[in-house]
Amino acid sequence: MEDRSGRTTLRFLAEPAHVNFGGKVHGGAVMKWIDQAGYACAAGWTGQYCVTVYVGGINFMRPILVGELVEVRARVCYTGTTSVHVAIDVHAGDPRGAASNRTAICVIVFVALDKNGRPTPAPPWVPRSDRDRFLESYAKRLAEFRKLLEEEVKAAPA
């Protein structure tokens, strides 16, 4: 089932099994949810199996508590030849109330693969709103920054 909307939302309750030693939801659990929502969004957009190639700029803004309703919102924000950049917003709050708060943000890059496991073209994404244009610009700047960092790491002494 393809979803060419370019958006995916996963919702669930934070459970005691997700807790770290500090009593809050473990950051690794949140990163797993981010990757799952991003994958569902990228695979829906491309109609192909996709693999994560980069997670950038993850920012944990507030802890998630056990029992909170977690919503992981993923949206395509930029496409390259074979890549799909997905912006992720994580929100959480008391399921009994309407208010939720942003808890984390990031951008993930996926590459679409064909049946033989080789990169395959991703359908182009076109921004339609001011928010879309902002996210596309952010994803492009993040890609440029990532290239600069990769060059620095390659040039660093062993």
Query: Any idea what the Cα angle at residue 8 is, between residues 49 and 66, rounded to 5°?
Result: 110
CATH number, domain of 109, equals 3.10.129.10
Look at the chain and report how many structural domains it folds into.
1
Question: What pTM did the predictor assign?
Answer: 0.91
- The CA-atom distances, in angstroms, between 72 and each of 4, 18, 36, 38 are 18, 15, 9, 9
Residue span of the structural domain in which 80 resides: 7-155
Q: What is the pLDDT of residues 114-156, one digit of tens each?
A: 999 999 999 999 999 999 999 999 999 998 998 898 899 889 8
Predicted pLDDT at 4: 72
**Which residues of the chain register pLDDT less than 50?**
1-2
Average pLDDT along the chain: 93
1 lies in some domain:
no
